[in-house]
Amino acid sequence: MTKGLLLIGAGGHARSCIDVIESAGMPIRGLVDKTERIGQSVLGYAILGTDDELERLLLESSGALVTVGQIESAALRIALYGRLEALGARRPVIVAKSATVSPHAQIGAGTIIMHGAIVNAAARIGENVIVNSRALIEHDCVVEDHCHVSTGAVANGAVKIGRGSFIGSGSMIREGVTIGAGSLIGAGSVVLGDCPENTDARRGVWPRRSS
């Protein structure tokens, strides 16, 4: 029986994940995607089936990772992760060889720490989280389940990022700030104060000051 990780989703984010998984020295079984893509391959790994065949495919795999990307909504990643949980799939933590994760940090199941990212001491990262390339999660931060902290984003000390939030590339969150669940912080934003749940903060300085 062939063993290796089953990747759920075969788009652009999956390609980045494959590179990270390979760097971590973990075998890959193949990918899951739409029916019309079965038999195709991504970076040399076959698309083996669809979501409807997860139960069978998991029996032939050593674990699974959600490799669908996330920008405006975490809904699809949450749904897929829930299916893996319900099927009892092993959901390993993936850490790129070039990433730095403090031994004093906590990383939840199904989370991927990508190339050059840093997770510092006493940080707590939830389940099914993407910490993308060169992102910085500083000491005592909390990143709740199903978040995506994008490339080059900086969460300074004791920041809290609520469940299902997206933090855009190159954004900076001031120390001690809380980002409410389901928020979208746009690329290049500077967040200087707390944001309520479902904040939609496109590029700029947030929260906005009243004129």
Tokens 């001491």 correspond to 121
Tokens of 176: 């001690």
Q: Are 156 and 138 in contact (CB under 8 A)?
A: yes
Catalytic residue status for 139: yes
Q: Are 184 and 203 in contact (CB under 8 A)?
A: no
Got the DSSP string for 69-105?
--SS--HHHHHHHHHHHHTT-----EE-TT-EE-TT-
CA of 193: how far to CAs of 22, 68, 103, 159, 208, in Å?
A: 39, 30, 29, 10, 9
Number of CB atoms found within 10 A of residue 144's CB: 19
Active-site hit among 13, 104, 115, 139: 139
Tell me which residue of 137, 95, 134 sits closest to 116, measured CA to CA: 134
Active site residues: 139
